[in-house]
Structure 1
């Protein structure tokens, strides 16, 4: 081998060794869990985060079908954001085992997971639980179908094939069920909230939500379900749904307030000891720039946008009289019932989203366009127990929020509880108290 050839070989080996050394030394932010969140949402927000905190040469690689890596450098120091798609359960376990810094979850940890991860800290705290985005499913029919709403029990009869004709629900003709083939986020949510382990009836299968919607647009007897991110056009409309409380349609206000029963949060979870970069990313997702990236990725952001007056008001007369001339902010403040259970002992009063929503309300009311506006605070209680106790609870919740807002300098005109007269879920059902015990904010 000539001297020049030997020199070239040595140079190549040196560069390769340096690259390998840099790869080994690169700091990693490990984010594991939900396939739905790992597909588009978290990579898009991670790239936005890296750009905004000064990283350069940002590039995305796919070492395996389930692993996305985002490489970047700042001041000559490499960083890799590792996004591993598995499941919510596996992501949480990886954090417990020390194999991930952050878990991506489309649900809150269950009691067994919380018990296994006791060393992680208070996972209901806003320091460790981050509501990154909202997602959901819509049950859609042809626009000429006379049906306006379904309860979850009725919907289960349709999806299992126990109900075969629309006449059972006031319509007409045989029911034609359509579904997207294979696993998808809408089906995951229907499985969890509606089916209760029941098998689906035979259905016309489609490659994606767009194909399903096109078929329903041609068939007045069709029904199917798609993610809320799927446009359905003028010939298809969503049904209002109820899981034991009032029926709610998937409007923007109802989804962002989580009144619509097929809405869910996309969460990030980290331990008390999560590193500085991991915490920086989690907190970034809560801010305006992070939420803008959430919206660009096609998901519902949880930042506060202008509200509007609902076309119809459901509830007692005093409630309708109170808010009839007001516009509702698209949120519902909910409470921390210790995360693990529904014992009623609040660990930190508000749940993690509500903590940040109060900050968002303050910032929203300080905008020049909202100066001089006043707030109405309306509390609701669960339907379990006596009506007197429910009224007292709803008043206490409304007063608690009103005092918090007034302490922040906001003008609250009225704070009132209306008891359990407008439930969102049936008393005694899993999670009913959490959904029913809430506070609405209206603006005059």
Structure 2
């Protein structure tokens, strides 16, 4: 016997919008033939009709209940005064229009996305825009236009749920605090297309995974290997890393968290370790930060905008000097545990608001909101070092060629990086071309010269690495020249001044970078 289904992908599928029923043979994969979303079975319930006396009795009771309830409501809830806002009851059905649906990262979805959504609705002409919280990790941003309510739904249960939501048509845009994994990319490609393309993967903001301890903890710096030993439970006492006596309490994010995925890959897996079995797992970033702040023996990892009153440690690694997370070291991605925060969407989405929202969020107005929330935005405005002196701990100081090129120059706060094993700019770098052009078009940079400096990883000979660094710098120069920016110097210094160990593919990609300076 065939089974009858319906498509839940409202706003993106004609079959869903028309409430069309879809009959499929028993055992067939319940996938919508139009939008490829997972179908929902249509329930069939047969009700036995009551006799006339029973109907009359039920009607009478309902009339008494409704009449009495209305009288009570009118007495206890007089009409609001003009201009008084009403709080929306989330238990009441929503009769307006769902404009956009977001699933994914808690780091993005709890604070940043609601702030962006509110401003986006106002830009789209909605009035009375406000936030309606459903749970700590779920909310809606609601506004009114032409007498009809519209809302943006946000569910922030971890980066993994972004890709699940896209796969099953449960969201329009996924939020992720890590890049899409290979298995996720392969599984989603037949459903929503290539999510690694420039039209589907968008860097929204930058963040650093800060390792936090209680403000009273005297520890100031740890190596990544020490972190791996602590979070795996190999090191159990603070005295083992130069601290005071006391058993270490580990706090970590839950298994759906992109923050945890990133930390696992960058710290634990690197040393063949796993998270300690007695680590206290929390779904919410705010709770983790608050827990560390009340426990003098605690340690945890958290997004940069959740440090709060805690102390963030400086981190070092093999061949890399210790650096604290800061807006600059995160913006340039030179901090060891810096990361990108992403939005993912199908390039062929039928919802026109998807592209409009992403343009807004990655544009000037959206990036100002990113900064106001406490995350690091993508604005590449040049940053001058005090008295034009780079701090001594900066690993680039060891390069005589770099010092000569940057003498008297001002650094633009970005890095151009490339797709794995290629000379093709990655998704952030592609959009940074336009951002840099906008900055350099300002009158104060009219007579400035642009200097591009290329670095390589440690793989290969000195000569080969210098040639690769030069070639990649010329790729960036070509892209800038096409936009009308003249580059005075384009130089590859090669495998020098590493900002990450050369032990993994991801870390080698960090070392393959192009800096931009003006002087």
Q: What does 1:396-407 correspond to in 2, within 5 Å?
A: 396-407=471-482
The CA deviation at 1:378 is: 0.8
C-alpha contact 2:251 2:279 (8 A) present in aligned 1 = no
Flag the 1:324–1:80 CA change in 2: closer, same or farther, 3 A: same
Flag the 1:68–1:362 CA change in 2: closer, same or farther, 3 A: same
Flag the 1:323–1:418 CA change in 2: closer, same or farther, 3 A: same
C-alpha contact 1:95 1:103 (8 A) present in aligned 2 = yes
> 1:29 is paired with a residue of what secondary structure?
strand
> 2:150 is paired with a residue of what secondary structure?
strand
The CA deviation at 1:389 is: 1.9
User: Who is 2:345 aligned against?
Assistant: 270
Match 1:311 to one of 388, 391, 402: 391
TM-score (norm 1): 0.81
Flag the 1:178–1:317 CA change in 2: closer, same or farther, 3 A: farther
User: Who is 1:125 aligned against?
Assistant: 197
Match 2:292 to one of 205, 208, 212: 212
C-alpha contact 2:104 2:175 (8 A) present in aligned 1 = yes
- 1:94-130 alpha-carbon deviations (Å, 9 max, x no partner): 2122222111111111111111111333322332111
User: Who is 1:17 aligned against?
Assistant: none
The structure whose RCO (Cα within 8 Å, separation 6+) is larger is 1
Distance 1:367 1:101 in 2: 36
> 2:414 is paired with a residue of what secondary structure?
strand
User: Who is 1:328 aligned against?
Assistant: 411
- 1:8-32 alpha-carbon deviations (Å, 9 max, x no partner): 99xx9xxxxxxxxx95562431111
User: Who is 1:43 aligned against?
Assistant: 114
Distance 1:142 1:107 in 2: 27
Match 1:83 to one of 150, 154, 158: 154
> 1:229 is paired with a residue of what secondary structure?
helix
User: Who is 1:155 aligned against?
Assistant: 227
Report which stretch shifted further, 192-201 or 366-375: 192-201
C-alpha contact 1:138 1:238 (8 A) present in aligned 2 = yes
> 1:330 is paired with a residue of what secondary structure?
coil
Report which stretch shifted further, 276-285 or 128-137: 128-137
> 1:415 is paired with a residue of what secondary structure?
strand
User: Who is 2:3 aligned against?
Assistant: none
**2:210 matches 1:135:** no
> 1:32 is paired with a residue of what secondary structure?
strand
The CA deviation at 1:375 is: 1.8
**2:190 matches 1:190:** no
User: Who is 1:32 aligned against?
Assistant: 103
User: Who is 1:341 aligned against?
Assistant: none
Distance 1:107 1:70 in 2: 25
User: Who is 1:111 aligned against?
Assistant: 182
Q: What number of residue pairs does the alignment pair up?
A: 417
Match 2:163 to one of 92, 109, 114: 92
Distance 1:204 1:28 in 2: 37
Distance 2:219 2:158 in 1: 36
- 1:136-163 alpha-carbon deviations (Å, 9 max, x no partner): 2223569999977543223212334434
C-alpha contact 2:213 2:292 (8 A) present in aligned 1 = no
Structure 1: unaligned runs, 5 residues or longer: 13-21, 338-343
Flag the 1:43–1:432 CA change in 2: closer, same or farther, 3 A: same
User: Who is 2:443 aligned against?
Assistant: 368
Distance 2:135 2:328 in 1: 39
Report which stretch shifted further, 104-113 or 424-433: 424-433
- 1:33-84 alpha-carbon deviations (Å, 9 max, x no partner): 1233221111110111111221112232234555322222333444221112
> 1:376 is paired with a residue of what secondary structure?
strand
Report which stretch shifted further, 131-140 or 191-200: 191-200
Distance 2:258 2:160 in 1: 15
The CA deviation at 1:355 is: 1.3
The CA deviation at 1:414 is: 1.2
Q: What does 1:336-415 correspond to in 2, within 5 Å?
A: 336-337=419-420, 344-345=421-422, 349-415=424-490
Root-mean-square deviation (CA, aligned residues, Å) is: 3.7
